[in-house]
Amino acid sequence: MSAEPIPESWRAVLEPVLATPEARRLGGWLSAEEAAGKTVYPARGQRLAALDLTPRENVRAVILGQDPYHGPGQAHGLAFSVPEGVKLPPSLRNIYRELAADCGGTPPESGSLVHWAKQGVLLLNNSLTVEAANAGSHAGKGWDAITDAVVAAVARSDTPTAFILWGSHAQGKAARIPELTDDGSHLVLRSPHPSPLSAHRGFFGSKPFGKVNAFLEAHGRGTIDWCGKARA
């Protein structure tokens, strides 16, 4: 983790966790994997991009992913997002399909969700790295404690925030955070994952984007321009 500067607004949340033996083992294990010639996505310097682009005080919504895309050129540190010019992955295509049905208008052609992150949407994967062509390969290696701490810090805040939990993995992660409840202080939306395997089981028609905007507006937090032009 030494090559990943901690964004200032998240420093108080992460420094205690990063000082633990588990986090140090994670750093050593990642270095050993790369030294052995394995390709790890995203590249060093991008692994905390979600935290860098969405300061703690700006978080208005949280979308939880499982782990980064494991194909070349796809992962850049934001859950479900790909860089400008990269072909849309199937899950993101389904997210855009639901976005168009929910909010109207035309979704961005770009798969970059940087414009969401800059508006306060924390696009956080549970594991922040993955081995090339090996989905889920870095699960259980120590990222959970770090990303749990981030989610818990947002959940403990008195500032009304929307949590969008797509699929059993995201919902299971949220279940580990005692403060993340449906008591009205936060909005917690649960639905199946947008992947082609499950999107037709209730993701389509769930209308999360409009619900989030209605909640944020009701609490004086403005709205998110979900369909705005993507900017790298």
* Residues with catalytic roles: 67
> Is the peptide bond between 42 and the residue preceding it cis, with omega within 30 degrees of 0?
yes
What are residue 190's DSSP bridge partners? 165
* Tokens, residue 68: 């980064």
Q: Would strands 130-131 and 40-41 be described as parallel, antiparallel, or unpaired?
A: antiparallel
Whether 227 contacts 108, CB under 8 Å: yes
* Tokens, residue 44: 């060093």
Whether 127 contacts 4, CB under 8 Å: no
Cβ burial 92-104 (10 Å sphere, 16+ → b, else e): bbbbbebbeebbe
CA distance 81 to 65: 10
CA distance 179 to 14: 18
